Amino acid sequence: METRWWPVVALASCYLGPAPHAAAVQPQWAYTWRPEMGFFDDGPTCLLNPPDGISPSGLYLSFYWSARDGSVLWLNWREKKNPSVRLVSEGSGDSWAITVEPFDSDYDGRRVLLDSRVASEILRSLELGHALTVVVSLDGVESQRYHVPARGAQLGVPMYQACIGSVADDPPRYLFAPERQFLGSYKASERCEFTQIIELQKISLTVTLSAHTDRDGGELLFERPTVTHHPHGPLRTRKTPDRVEAQPLFGPSFDLVEKFRYDISADQLNALGAELSRGLTRKFSLTTPEARKSTLTFGGRFGKPFAAMFAACRQARITTTQPRSP
């Protein structure tokens, strides 16, 4: 049995280099700052990718953190000449001069190793809703200015920082073979979710914990297709229903055909979220129509950073939806 982690059910993308190449704010998720998490061969990496279309001329700016590199700003600057780069907060007027690493033909962009204080200041500015201006200068060439919006950073930044906090002290070792690398994204602008995919007898089971956006508490959703077909594999089918004993997850016993969901209270959601954030597990069982019973694990060390992001998402949504004082 194999467990894979996604903070969102339907999104996954490959990571092909030291910098993220995915984009992600309200009201549509495709236009928000997007926190992501991946386990790679050099350890876990937390990423924060920007809204789509940050610059008509195509400058791409993103952040990532790893135990090896620390805090990194990534620019898709492809010129061999070294630019002088300055970031300016459009809200506070604060500015930061940053040093871009020399050109390396192996990479589709330039890396900037950030001092932790500078990284915190830049991210805090974004979280407060202050857009950035990136000023890029080359000798003998007029400076170019790029606008980077802050849309959705009030959710994305605290989730990204929660990811870092979860793995910084004791990063888990690399779990998957290289061909199984992946990234996941939270749909934080819609709702907060924590999703685990469990490989079970060639047809995976997906379990999603989510927080309600219109009332207290949350829900657990169990999904397992009856037919699945991988691009390079055979067509697989299964008999229905599976019998799930979900009492350890505050649920009932139920028959699972393809989908089953149930609500949990605010206290149950808080308790489960707190356990997941500590890397703890809860076990439940699934029995197939052929009487094959499996004891399955929800949570664990490799889900810990995703759970920390889930908790930060919940807290950020509470903070951003509270009425402001006059």
Query: Is 1's pLDDT higher than 60?
Result: no
**Fold adopted by 52-150:** Immunoglobulin-like (2.60.40)
Q: Residue 276 — very low, low, confident or very high, per pLDDT cuts 50/70/90?
A: very high
Residue linked to tokens 């949504």: 317
Q: Dihedral (C-alpha) 206, 207, 213, 217: value to the nearest 10 degrees?
A: 170
Give the tokens for residue 119. 């990284």
Query: Is 18's pLDDT higher than 60?
Result: no
Q: Give pLDDT tens digits for 148-183.
A: 889 889 999 999 999 999 988 777 766 555 444 455
Enumerate the CATH 2.60.40 domain ranges in the chain, comma separated.
52-150
Q: Give pLDDT tens digits for 302-323.
A: 888 899 999 999 999 887 765 4
Q: What is the pLDDT of residue 3?
A: 57
- Across the chain, mean pLDDT equals 81
Which among 9-23, 91-105, 210-224, 225-239 has the top mean pLDDT? 210-224
Q: What is the pLDDT of residue 43?
A: 76
Which is more confidently placed, 41 or 300?
300
Q: Residue 12 — very low, low, confident or very high, per pLDDT cuts 50/70/90?
A: very low
Question: What integer is the mean pLDDT of 78-91?
Answer: 86
Neighbours of 164 (CB within 10 A): 25
Q: What is the pLDDT of residue 207?
A: 93
- Give which of 284, 259, 288 is closest to 201, Cα–Cα: 288
Q: Give pLDDT tens digits for 104-132.
A: 877 778 889 999 999 999 999 999 999 99
Query: Is 295's pLDDT higher than 90?
Result: yes
Q: Give pLDDT tens digits for 24-63.
A: 223 344 468 889 888 776 778 899 988 765 554 567 789 9
* CA–CA distance, 52 with 232 (Å, rounded to integer): 32
Q: What is the pLDDT of residue 175?
A: 57
Contact status, residue 37 vs residue 183, Cβ threshold 8 Å: yes
